[in-house]
Structure 1
């Protein structure tokens, strides 16, 4: 029965069908909420951001971050994510902003260092391949010799320091917990850091193209490093706002093993989770005599 259901899904999964319908709903939702989008009663940090619906959160959790399917987990994610940045043409957020004072459980570290995150699997995968081919060296060389890039880099890090401050404003009790956990010195370093925990006194370093692009898709139009990265991706023939088949990766009705496009191996945390899931599925398939789990 599971095989027949999967074939049915495959026959009807074209992006012109159910996925576009979902994207239209997402687009309508964004239009309706843009003027009033808030997090914990405060307006979202940037005009291009939007709040995430339950559908958004499920896609981000299961197909962007590749977290385990734990009932009710999306509700925790709703408290953890401030909002989404630019959306792809299929309607899903391509980057998110974390609440820096959220902890998944008591004793776990706060998210002071990774306030923004690129989540779009298509862009994550494309950038991962670029970095593996040595793109970081070329980007850092340009950062050191290009005055415009260097000046813009300083502006990016200052913008993230201010973003972090704005997100924790008027939350004295939570801030007290952060100070107690880290101590004054580490707390000061964390609060004064820029993008990807870049310290203001550190040597200029792009550090991570994923982080740079995530910043661009959140703040919108002021990250020269990210803009060059996106142009480089386009030159590879990959549309940065989505492709005809990448929607399968984010369509929860399509099993990942049947998707026309899906994220491959990737070095970040989400990629490692996905690799573990695939290994676990393969082990289960072997135990089931070659059938996928649930068949």
Structure 2
């Protein structure tokens, strides 16, 4: 079996991690050393028709919280300043953007969603020219592996006191015995009207 293929147990775990039902998960792009999901790859068009550009979605509460704390420190501002001053870093960030788009196309083909013109050329996290979401960059870095998303790699290194890929932090991060959420209150649940 393909380890990226989401099982019903994976989808239940993601729902518990997020506190809402898992939505249009095509792959588990990264897993904890224990096997639990860290990153879900979401179809570029949700089942209700809404375009969804965030292909790689962090699901693990410990990692998500660590990245949120990092965002609060002004790290994105410093990264944006470095992008403006360092052409090599900017080129690597643009290359990460291109990789993200190629991966979204692959995920979309696997999901059978076809082209999603509303988000064509749009990746996530502020790519290709800036940084506006470290969660998106970290998710991409975990899905792609080291060296593809340099600022995502930096994000993961910066949260190493709280989370690292070689250490399980799942115990106590969510309640595996809780009822799996069935009601989604997110803005992405409404239907696309055309």
Task: Check the 8 A contact 2:66/2:159 in 1, yes or no.
Answer: yes
Q: CA deviation at 1:246?
A: 4.0
Q: Where does residue 61 of structure 1 map in the other structure?
A: 15
User: How far apart, CA to CA, are the structure 2 residues paired with 1:239 and 1:164?
Assistant: 26
- Counterpart selection for 1:239 from 157, 160, 163: 163
- Whichever structure has more helix as a proportion of its residues is 1
Q: Where does residue 225 of structure 1 map in the other structure?
A: 151
Q: CA deviation at 1:166?
A: 3.0
1:69-99 deviations in whole A, cap 9, x for unaligned? xxxx66xx4xx11111221123212111111
SS of 2:97 mapped into structure 1: helix
SS of 1:117 mapped into structure 2: strand
1:213-254 deviations in whole A, cap 9, x for unaligned? 0001111121110111111112xx223237665422244137
Largest Rg, 1 or 2: 1
SS of 1:138 mapped into structure 2: helix
SS of 2:41 mapped into structure 1: strand
Q: Where does residue 29 of structure 1 map in the other structure?
A: none
Structure 2: unaligned runs, 5 residues or longer? 187-194
Task: Check the 8 A contact 1:96/1:117 in 2, yes or no.
Answer: yes
Q: CA deviation at 1:125?
A: 0.3
User: How far apart, CA to CA, are the structure 1 residues paired with 2:169 and 2:110?
Assistant: 44
User: How far apart, CA to CA, are the structure 2 residues paired with 1:242 and 1:254?
Assistant: 26
Q: How many residues align?
A: 181
- Asked whether 1:206 is paired with 2:131, we answer yes
Task: Check the 8 A contact 2:101/2:123 in 1, yes or no.
Answer: yes
SS of 2:64 mapped into structure 1: helix
SS of 1:137 mapped into structure 2: helix
1:23-48 deviations in whole A, cap 9, x for unaligned? xxxxxxxxxx2xxx2xxxxxxxxxxx
User: How far apart, CA to CA, are the structure 2 residues paired with 1:92 and 1:219?
Assistant: 18
Task: Check the 8 A contact 2:41/2:107 in 1, yes or no.
Answer: no
